[in-house]
Structure 1
Amino acid sequence: MIEKTMSYIGGRSVEPLTGHYASKVDPRTNLKIKDVANSGAEDVDAAVASAVAAQAEWRDKRPSERGRILVEMARILRQKRRDIVEIESIETGKPGREMDQLLDLVAQYFEFYGGIVNVMDGDIINVGPDYHVYTRRDPFGVIGVILPWNAPLHQAARAIAPALATGNAVIAKPSEHTSGSLVAFAKMAVEEAGLPPGVLNVIVGKGSAIGPALASNLDVKKISFTGGLKAGQELGRIAAERILPLTLELGGKSANIVFDDADLDVAAKGATAAFTWNSGQWCAAGSRLLVQRNIHDRFVAKLIENVSRLRLGPDYDASNGPITTAAQFEKIKSFFAIAERDGLKPAIGGRAATGGELGDGSYIEPTVYTNVTNDMEIAREEIFGPILSVIAFDDEADAIRIANDSEMGLAAGIWSRDIGRVHRVAGRLEAGRIVVNEYGGGFVQNPCGGFKASGYGREQGIDALAEYTQLKSVIIRL
């Protein structure tokens, strides 16, 4: 019997009211593994009704009680980590080692917000002896969380944890390609951690049907969206009609800058991970590598040596897994022809990889192109795969100019031993997160979000609490 992934609404698994299912394949083999619900607008309405019914009681719980349940959700997640790792590894193709690391981060979100909600408070404002003035933060009510397929449970946790902590109910819409881990986690949260039914609902289906239905439902008061620019623009148009608040993370084309005083061995290792982590399928990937011209050739040699040691495969310890969706696999391959059209030849990689232990999986060789200029298509478009553009620069001003010459501004990296240079460049880069002398996703405690077309609003850290609450002023004449 073929396994099914269904929506989870009001504390129970439900068949789609449409009656329709879609097939899900394992990207490591491209063989069908399950049927996935193809829900529609009526399913969204049912989830919203469940959330509305549950939210008031959840809102009125003491912050310490909400926090206790969030921490318990983290404990259950750690306890059941093997089950969740297996589900998400199969659906995304992520190596188990990578999923183990991500799962620890997922648990940290619920631990962090489960603790900090106990000290979240408003301010007393002194306007003189005749008044008592203060502010407070109230939850929106029901929040829609629309998620991508590249890191499903991690992306979900960083929105769901602060939304729940502040007293909202959530309707989460994972990608139809990678919905299993979030459905399993929601069931654990309700059935084992004590989260009230209806406070966290998961709708499984296509974004083209569910996203507009969520945004159009008048009982949904806020939406957090992580995904592509075009989908974000369409969501923004719907939200504008309702004056619906949005938090948007819409991708990046991040510059990773290596200056000539950097530790080149460490930087080469970091630059490799920056564009190959999760097979390049992450919004903040350092896919534009800017290298100072006087060290360019020496650094590229070190970089290629690091890339050559990466191992593709389906097993736990592989460096890189497959591309998660068939459409993304085809999109990435199209950039090989685009690069060739522009006169570029790969220094390493440059093709899809099949055969042997890879079988018929959707694997892409980590690929490095040198002699790239910033006006080329591979330097401007978000490829969302393991393809790196290496661009030479002359000096600090040139590096800043090239880095900022992009429609996007999600993240950036700086490699330098000169602390003055680090602060100067960080201050001038148009990006929401700057990482120095490593390249990673940061920490649960630090805010994450973009400049320019990479979106607006912030996830993670204390700042996220403001995204999931509305500020209210209370003015009392004594």
Structure 2
Amino acid sequence: MTESTKNYVNGEWVVSETGDTFDVENPANSNEIVSRYQQSNSTDAAVAVSAAAESQDSWKNTPGPERGRILREAGTVLANQKEGLTGLLVSEEGKSYAEAAGEVQRAIDIFHYFAAKAADLGGTVKGSSGKNTTLYTRKVPVGVAALITPWNYPIAIPAWKLAPALAAGNSVVLKPASVAPGLSLKIAKALDEAGLPAGVLNVVTGPGREVGSEFIENESTDAVSFTGSSQVGQTVYDQATDAGKRVQTELGGKNPTVVTGSADPSKAADIVATGGFGTTGQSCTACSRAIVDSAIHDDFVAALIDRAESIDIGPGSDHEMGPQVSANERDSTLEYIDIAVEEGATLAAGGGVPDGTAVANGYFVEPTVFTNVDSEMRIAQEEVFGPVISVIEVDDFNGAIDVANNVQYGLSASVVTESHNEANRFIDEADAGVVKVNQKTTGLELHVPFGGFKRSSSETWREQGDSGLDFYTIEKTVYDSY
């Protein structure tokens, strides 16, 4: 019998008021129940917010180096549990073992990074226009931060929201996605072991319409950070701003890789395939469109098809590419594949569900390549959260830039080129918050800002690095006459 995992509220592990639970299945084998979690409601969420609010003053007044010590110790606890955390991530979300291990390590690194930053939080001293006056600024926490996180990076994204919030002196309520909530509760346990005071962090599982909405609208929360789809993100943004909250949203993408005529086709195909098929295409920064110069188009397509057909598909524990996270996600990807065929795109590789006993009960989709794609087709305009790459042929670099920018999203974009001029023009002209040269669209450094343009972000605050701390702090200006 599967044991129910409890919510973490006010330093205690508690069951939901509803008495109900929900199961999380292994996406590689839907017959296997991985874990059982609390099906919480708005009352559970309100209790968590109250606990966070009551702890806020004490945590705010805890010295930054002490807050940092707790974050550092939590990172060490996670590091000591890395093997088990990796296994849970593979089982709940479906990533390959190598991808899951890398994500767990990233979470560890994030906690250690912001542990050091907690001691550096201060302000600046400015020259005063008056005599005998010291003029300076101080950074103070926003208050209670409500974090709503997605399933596709179930430990890294909670970590990169939570660590700067705590480092800056905010108390937190966190609602992880119900598809893969286990890693967020493991973070809570690590922080509890590290000595985080009761009430500073509260994690409640359950539906967004109940738990998430209460977190957003409760008068005691001061800031809302959300990562997820653009459609849901707009609703969250409207709810949060209507309630007078500080808000950041990081949303979807339709990320291009431009392959110029000077690029090596084989190298470019490997970059595109890694960016598009890695994490089963379930990254907001995944490459969805390869925009390729006609001079090397045919050689590039041949190399990309070879790469797609060589990928080893199966359970993430021992295969290169795992399943999609749920039946709904798999079915959505397959529906987009059907739409692309109906609109006239050429299915050049994949496009179906793989055969074999190892994948019979999972949510697997073959790595898929479309050619003869027009940039106005739905497959080239709408986010497909799965292992599907559309190849769009263009006549020249100017045409490639136009196609790359001709979408409602602007999260990540890359160019593969041997031309210094093309590389710098792309950096200048690409409408994206992350721009890369001769690299895949996925993969982020933790100490630099991350965020998108257009429908990929609220364009209010960036995450990670110093920018991540900015969202969770407010500057206070002090005039001290003596």
TM-score (norm 2): 0.96
Rounded Cα–Cα distance in structure 1 between residues aligned with 2:117 and 2:23 = 41
How far residue 242 of structure 1 moved from its aligned partner, in angstroms, is 1.8
Contact 2:94 2:316 in 1 (8 A): no
1:19 aligns with 2:19: yes
Mapping for residues 375-390 of structure 1, pairs under 5 Å: 375-390=376-391
Aligned residue number for residue 446 of structure 2 = 444
Aligned residue number for residue 343 of structure 1 = 344
Task: Name the aligned partner's letter for residue 322 of structure 1.
Answer: P
Mapping for residues 109-120 of structure 1, pairs under 5 Å: 109-120=110-121
**Structure 1, 151-160 or 196-205: larger mean CA deviation:** 196-205
User: What are the superposed Cα offsets for residues 208-245 of structure 1, whole Å, 9 maximum, x if unpaired?
Assistant: 22121111111110010000112111112212222211
Rounded Cα–Cα distance in structure 2 between residues aligned with 1:117 and 1:13 = 27
Rounded Cα–Cα distance in structure 2 between residues aligned with 1:6 and 1:326 = 26
1:5 aligns with 2:5: yes
Task: Name the aligned partner's letter for residue 139 of structure 1.
Answer: P
Rounded Cα–Cα distance in structure 1 between residues aligned with 2:479 and 2:376 = 55
How far residue 332 of structure 1 moved from its aligned partner, in angstroms, is 0.8
Rounded Cα–Cα distance in structure 1 between residues aligned with 2:241 and 2:377 = 34
Contact 1:5 1:179 in 2 (8 A): no
Q: Secondary structure at the match of 1:335?
A: helix
How far residue 417 of structure 1 moved from its aligned partner, in angstroms, is 2.0
Rounded Cα–Cα distance in structure 2 between residues aligned with 1:221 and 1:92 = 31
Contact 2:346 2:373 in 1 (8 A): no
Q: Secondary structure at the match of 2:296?
A: helix
Q: Secondary structure at the match of 1:128?
A: coil
Task: Name the aligned partner's letter for residue 71 of structure 1.
Answer: R
Task: Name the aligned partner's letter for residue 31 of structure 1.
Answer: N
1:132 aligns with 2:139: no
How far residue 32 of structure 1 moved from its aligned partner, in angstroms, is 4.6
Aligned residue number for residue 28 of structure 1 = 28
Aligned residue number for residue 418 of structure 2 = 417
Aligned residue number for residue 212 of structure 1 = 213
How far residue 197 of structure 1 moved from its aligned partner, in angstroms, is 2.2
**Could you list the runs of 5+ residues in structure 1 that have no partner in the other structure?**
none
Task: Name the aligned partner's letter for residue 459 of structure 1.
Answer: E
Rounded Cα–Cα distance in structure 2 between residues aligned with 1:390 and 1:12 = 52
Rounded Cα–Cα distance in structure 2 between residues aligned with 1:172 and 1:330 = 29
Rounded Cα–Cα distance in structure 2 between residues aligned with 1:316 and 1:25 = 15
1:394 aligns with 2:423: no
1:71 aligns with 2:75: no
**Structure 1, 207-216 or 217-226: larger mean CA deviation:** 207-216
Mapping for residues 147-166 of structure 1, pairs under 5 Å: 147-166=149-168
Mapping for residues 70-89 of structure 1, pairs under 5 Å: 70-89=71-90
1:463 aligns with 2:464: no
Contact 1:410 1:451 in 2 (8 A): yes
User: What are the superposed Cα offsets for residues 419-453 of structure 1, whole Å, 9 maximum, x if unpaired?
Assistant: 23212211111100011111132211111101011
Rounded Cα–Cα distance in structure 1 between residues aligned with 2:347 and 2:182 = 37
Contact 2:82 2:104 in 1 (8 A): yes
User: What are the superposed Cα offsets for residues 81-125 of structure 1, whole Å, 9 maximum, x if unpaired?
Assistant: 111112121111112221111111111111111112222321122
Contact 1:353 1:362 in 2 (8 A): no
1:48 aligns with 2:46: no
Rounded Cα–Cα distance in structure 2 between residues aligned with 1:430 and 1:127 = 41
Task: Name the aligned partner's letter for residue 288 of structure 1.
Answer: R
1:145 aligns with 2:147: yes
Residues 301/101 of structure 1: CA separation in 2 closer, same or farther (3 Å cut): same
Mapping for residues 271-420 of structure 1, pairs under 5 Å: 271-420=272-421
Rounded Cα–Cα distance in structure 2 between residues aligned with 1:400 and 1:477 = 56
Residues 170/346 of structure 1: CA separation in 2 closer, same or farther (3 Å cut): same
Contact 1:354 1:363 in 2 (8 A): no
Aligned residue number for residue 91 of structure 1 = 92
Rounded Cα–Cα distance in structure 2 between residues aligned with 1:218 and 1:199 = 17
Task: Name the aligned partner's letter for residue 31 of structure 2.
Answer: L
How far residue 315 of structure 1 moved from its aligned partner, in angstroms, is 4.4
Aligned residue number for residue 247 of structure 1 = 248
Aligned residue number for residue 182 of structure 1 = 184
User: What are the superposed Cα offsets for residues 41-63 of structure 1, whole Å, 9 maximum, x if unpaired?
Assistant: 10111111111222222211111
Contact 2:315 2:359 in 1 (8 A): yes
Moved over 6 A (4+): none
Rounded Cα–Cα distance in structure 1 between residues aligned with 2:454 and 2:100 = 30
Rounded Cα–Cα distance in structure 1 between residues aligned with 2:139 and 2:212 = 27
Contact 2:365 2:387 in 1 (8 A): yes
Q: Secondary structure at the match of 1:368?
A: strand
**Structure 1, 53-62 or 171-180: larger mean CA deviation:** 53-62
Rounded Cα–Cα distance in structure 2 between residues aligned with 1:351 and 1:180 = 30
Q: Secondary structure at the match of 1:449?
A: coil
1:473 aligns with 2:453: no
- Give the RMSD, CA atoms, in angstroms: 1.4
Rounded Cα–Cα distance in structure 2 between residues aligned with 1:3 and 1:397 = 58
Contact 2:145 2:171 in 1 (8 A): yes
How far residue 262 of structure 1 moved from its aligned partner, in angstroms, is 2.1
**Structure 1, 235-244 or 153-162: larger mean CA deviation:** 235-244
**Could you list the runs of 5+ residues in structure 2 that have no partner in the other structure?**
none
TM-score (norm 1): 0.97
Rounded Cα–Cα distance in structure 2 between residues aligned with 1:317 and 1:27 = 14
Task: Name the aligned partner's letter for residue 228 of structure 1.
Answer: S
1:170 aligns with 2:165: no
Q: Secondary structure at the match of 1:119?
A: coil
Rounded Cα–Cα distance in structure 1 between residues aligned with 2:251 and 2:292 = 26
Aligned residue number for residue 428 of structure 2 = 427
How many residues matched? 477
Percent identical = 34
Q: Secondary structure at the match of 1:184?
A: helix
